[in-house]
Copies of this chain bind each other. A is one copy, B any other.
Amino acid sequence: MSVTGGPSRLRVGFVMLHTSPLDVPGTKDAGGMNVVVLAQAEALARAGHAIRIFTRRADPAAAARVELTPGLEVVHIDAGPARLLAKAEHEPVMAEFGAQLAAELAREPADVLHAEHWFSGIAALPVARRTGTPLVQSFHSIAVPEGSALPGERPESPGRLAGERRLAREADALIAVSEAERGTIVADLGGAPERVCVVPLGVDTELFRPCHTRECAERDEWFARGGAAEVIAVGRLHPLKGFDLALDALAAIPAARRPALRIVGAPPPDGDDYARGLHEQAARLGLLGSVAFEGALPRPELAARIRRATLMVVPSHTETFGLVALEAAASGVPVVARAAGGLREAVRDGETGVLVRGDDPREWAAVIAALLDDPERMAAMSRAARAHALGRSWGASAESLLAAYRGLLAARAGAGPVVSDGAAGARATRCG
């Protein structure tokens, strides 16, 4: 990267209104976003930058400021009641949060504000404008346009799509985690292509590692003695994840060659209808002896499960990025995934796994069974997958994010590479 906008030590303010980086992913409202923000923030702090994460106080006992690592601080902002709020309860507190954020920035300015999720963006936008701080927006997930929701999906808050469209127009830079998300931001939200920067997520290749311990040796011996292979599927029990297709595919594999299927994930807080349906489907298909429903797991346990699996399956209808597929790769586990969204980038088709088009369980079954029957191909994929993941560290992800910040600051200063887009010229940017 040759872009050098801004001071050498950047002061970055992450804004994460509705969930705390101190919460454990899988508890409260903490999930993938918490993992991503914390990992990027830590990597930026390690690179010498000064990072604050602004989050709403949901716990009356939490300290006002908590230093997580040198250069990385969590700042709790009082806005609304100091308790956990349901997602929909956040919209009324956005304005109050913005006002308090402005006060924090008045005391201690930031070179860049980076808003996570649209709540944070809408809260931060006026503050950014008033203080002249460039605003970078990450969506994490983007509202499905009306009428295109899957059966069982909750209708979106009406404010969300409008909020996301506004941010796509007004934020100074938009971060996409994949070319697929870039396409969505441009096509569905009207974001200007030259302001969308693709910053792929990273993976913790220490936590997600291939299986070389005594326990795995014991397991491999069991497999060698005729134990069934194990296919793993990871994610919340939500219709978007397509786990019903995985069950149908499993049933389509003849019993003698059938692997076990392990589903790791809990129902989302807003309902367990889909989870109930999966349990019923497994019973109906006679698969209760072949399917494990694991519930949510702490990340170290999740990593342990993935590295013990033979194969991962990702039948999600769409994934913005497909982090679990990258976590499987880091664990040396080949992935069979749907050719959709960011999964097309997360899996190298034929190299680190196989991409499948469509919803035919027999086709999924055939792909899975063929891979399990070909240990040499699996071993080659396992090696390629680990190598692929090793190039996708969080440090690399943070470096790419930094390039986006620098590009923005350079453009602002008129000193760096600017891509003029006419009307929005002063806010134009370019990514790395």
Q: Which residues of A contact B (CB under 8 A)?
A: 24, 27, 207, 213, 215, 218-219, 222, 225-227, 237, 260, 262, 266-267, 272, 275-276, 279-280, 282-283, 286, 288-296, 298-301, 304, 308
Q: In chain B, what residue has the closest Cβ to A283?
A: B276
Q: In chain B, what residue has the closest Cβ to A274?
A: B288
Docked-complex contact B279 and A266, CB < 8 angstroms: no
Q: Which residues of B contact A291 (CB under 8 A)?
A: 293, 295
Q: In chain B, what residue has the closest Cβ to A226?
A: B24
Given A24-B225, A24-B226, check contact A283 B293 (CB 8 Å): no
For residue A282, give the distance in angstroms from its CB to the closest CB of chain B.
Answer: 8
Q: In chain B, what residue has the closest Cβ to A278?
A: B288
Docked-complex contact A288 and B276, CB < 8 angstroms: yes
Given A24-B226, A27-B226, A213-B213, check contact A272 B289 (CB 8 Å): yes
Q: Which residues of B contact A298 (CB under 8 A)?
A: 218-219, 222, 227
19 extra A-B contacts, CB within 8 A, seeds A272-B288, A279-B288, A304-B304: A215-B304, A218-B300, A219-B298, A222-B299, A222-B300, A237-B288, A262-B295, A266-B289, A267-B289, A272-B289, A276-B283, A279-B279, A279-B280, A288-B293, A289-B295, A290-B295, A291-B295, A292-B293, A292-B295
Docked-complex contact B24 and A295, CB < 8 angstroms: no
- Given the complex of chains A and B, what is the CA–CA distance between A308 and B300 in angstroms? 12
In terms of DSSP, what is the predominant structure of the interface of chain A? mixed
Q: In chain B, what residue has the closest Cβ to A215?
A: B304
Q: Which residues of B contact A294 (CB under 8 A)?
A: 292, 294
Docked-complex contact A219 and B293, CB < 8 angstroms: no
Docked-complex contact A296 and B300, CB < 8 angstroms: no
For residue A273, give the distance in angstroms from its CB to the closest CB of chain B.
Answer: 10
Q: What 7 pairs across the A-B complex have the smallest Cβ distances?
A: A218-B300, A222-B298, A266-B289, A279-B279, A292-B295, A275-B288, A276-B283
For residue A280, give the distance in angstroms from its CB to the closest CB of chain B.
Answer: 8
- Given the complex of chains A and B, what is the CA–CA distance between A296 and B266 in angstroms? 20
- Given the complex of chains A and B, what is the CA–CA distance between A296 and B219 in angstroms? 13
Q: Which residues of B contact A289 (CB under 8 A)?
A: 266-267, 272, 275, 295-296
For residue A160, give the distance in angstroms from its CB to the closest CB of chain B.
Answer: 25
Best-buried of A260, A275, A300 by chain B (most CB within 10 Å): A300
Q: Which residues of B contact A300 (CB under 8 A)?
A: 215, 218-219, 222
Docked-complex contact B288 and A283, CB < 8 angstroms: no
Docked-complex contact A301 and B225, CB < 8 angstroms: no
Q: In chain B, what residue has the closest Cβ to A284?
A: B276
Q: Which residues of B contact A276 (CB under 8 A)?
A: 283, 288
